[in-house]
Amino acid sequence: MLFRSAEIRYVQANGHIVTARVFDAELRWKGSLADAASRLEPSGFLRVHRAYLVNPERVIEVEPFFGGSYLLRVDDKSRSEVPVSRNYLPAVRKALGL
């Protein structure tokens, strides 16, 4: 199964397994988030955490979180939450106009 990058809501890395989430499915492969980022960041994806990339076009809600950080809710079937780590806060604030 292949997806256009615009269909991807977020990408998560867990060890050497990378998962791309679309509306109601996931695509998994062996690799690294750095490899996924090199392919997706030119399409506008943001690194928001050491384990997550998010498609800012798919963020539907920004929720304040512990320590001045945020949880980003995306428009997949389950309205998944993507955490933002403090290291990536300035870039996320700028990109999302927060």
Question: What is the tens place of the pLDDT at every residue in 13-27?
Answer: 999 999 999 999 999
Span 62-74, average pLDDT: 89
Closest listed residue to residue 3, CA positions, set 39, 52, 48: 39
- The percentage of residues in the chain with a pLDDT greater than 90, rounded to a whole number, is 80
For residue 7, give Cα distances in angstroms to 64, 67, 88. 25, 31, 23
Region for residue 94 given its phi and psi (left: phi exceeds 0; alpha: psi -120 to 50; beta: otherwise): alpha
